[in-house]
Amino acid sequence: MAVIISAEKVNKYFDTLHVLKDISIDIHEGEVVCVIGPSGSGKSTFLRCINQLESTSSGVIRINDEIIGFRQQGNKLHPLKDKQIAKQRSKVGMVFQRFNLFPHKTVLENIIEGPVYVQKRPAAELKKEAMELLKKVGLAEKANSYPNELSGGQQQRVAIARTLAMRPQAILFDEPTSALDPELVGDVLAVMKELAQSGMTMIVVTHEIGFCREVADKVLFMESGAIVASDTPDNMLINPKHPRVREFISAVL
């Protein structure tokens, strides 16, 4: 399978704080990679760099072989303009812990907003597509509701539909169920699992170990800005060899 996202020796500093340390990884088409690790280890920053909400300090990230955030000239990298970055960004979706839906727009309007204004696609076609997406996340009957009329789990499923409406090549999830009441987590994970099975390329930062075991092709463990272990879910989560991973797993289970 082709590599969709690749990171090569990516470093990120916030002033003097070294937050990502030589991160290198290839993520292939259709792969589901779960990322676990303690708070502050750089998981969100890694996703934010892939989605260019942060710029990298050194190293390169490529999406489909295209360097993101920079234009290469000889062996020099020049930063891209905001408009070009926005275009690149729309290729990768991101789902956050907080759903960030527009409160004054209906569910349907939230879903078509990006494709209409960013991709300039026709609204009528998009409405039809949005209804299909809402069916997919089990919320067809909520099309005309406002976000505050939905539970957190329903809002997160709308956020996933909104991301899908942009037709991304991969989706990054940053602790998508951490802000939800426990009884609402299952429905969101079920939608994510279905998405994974449909062949979507996904990077998922999560502490839902059951989901990782069932859905991930690969699990990464990050600590202090580095990927310190990477293995199959079984090797990583059932009987981890790496002592820090073992300690972490027993603490979150």
206 binds Mg ion (CB under 5 A): no
Instruction: Please tell me whether residue 177 binds Mg ion under the rule CB under 5 A.
Output: no
Stretch that binds ligand ADP, among 13-21, 22-30, 96-104, 126-134 (CB under 6 A): 13-21
Among 5, 25, 43, 109, binds ligand ADP (CB under 6 A): 43
- State yes or no: residue 44 binds Mg ion (CB under 5 A): yes
CA distance 181 to 178: 8
Span of 11-19, 68-76, 152-160, 228-236 interacting with ligand ADP by CB under 6 A: 11-19
Choose one: 21-29, 36-44, 95-103, 241-249; the region binding ligand ADP (CB under 6 A).
36-44
For residue 178, give both structure tokens: 């951490």
Q: Is 33 in the site for ligand ADP (CB under 6 A)?
A: no
Q: Min. distance of Cβ 42 from ligand ADP in angstroms?
A: 4
What is the side-by-side strand order in the sheet with 3-14?
17-28, 3-14, 58-63, 66-67
Minimum CB separation from ligand ADP for residue 19, in Å? 4
Dig out the tokens for 246 from the structure.
């073992």
State yes or no: residue 56 binds Mg ion (CB under 5 A). no
41 binds, among Mg ion, ligand ADP, none (CB under 5 to 8 A by kind): ligand ADP
Residues binding ligand ADP (CB under 6 A): 14, 17, 19, 39-45
